[in-house]
């Protein structure tokens, strides 16, 4: 069974601080995605990484896929209150089913 463990589960920081969220597994994934979910809404895709060692940047967010394609990290620089939300990593399972395995999420609160 493929599982993804996210850490930390909860994070409360002040505006302007940096943070990193980790997503780890013992399984290899064909791709790794990060989503952000706000209360009362569905998750929204932030980024997809598909190549081992790949790094992608989205403004103040930096995403990295591990060399062995088993783990990923999300780094936010100079966090802002607008970054508050639930961050979910999701791994693409093998085969052509389109199935995603989700981590349990990291709830981020950025205080002004």
**Minimum CB–partner distance for residue 93 and another protein (Å):** 7
Residue 73 or 106 with smaller CB distance to another protein? 106
Neighbouring residues of 97: CB distance < 8 A, sequence distance ≥ 6: none
Among 21, 25, 36, 43, binds another protein (CB under 8 A): 43
Burial per residue of 61-76, b for 16 or more beta-carbon CB atoms within 10 angstroms, e otherwise: bbbbbbeebbbbbbbb
Among 33, 64, 72, 73, binds another protein (CB under 8 A): 33
**Minimum CB–partner distance for residue 26 and another protein (Å):** 18
SS3 82: helix
């Amino acid at each position: 069974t493929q599982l993804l463990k996210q850490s930390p589960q909860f994070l409360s920081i002040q505006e302007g601080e940096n943070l990193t969220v980790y997503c780890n597994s013992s399984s290899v994934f064909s791709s790794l995605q990060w989503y952000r979910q706000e209360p009362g809404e569905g998750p929204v895709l932030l980024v997809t990484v598909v190549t081992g060692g790949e790094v992608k940047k989205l403004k103040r967010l930096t995403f990295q896929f591990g060399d062995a394609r088993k783990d990923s990290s999300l780094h936010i620089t100079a966090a802002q209150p607008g970054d508050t939300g639930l961050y979910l990593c999701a791994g693409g399972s093998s085969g052509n089913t389109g199935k995603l395995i989700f981590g349990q999420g990291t709830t981020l609160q950025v205080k002004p």
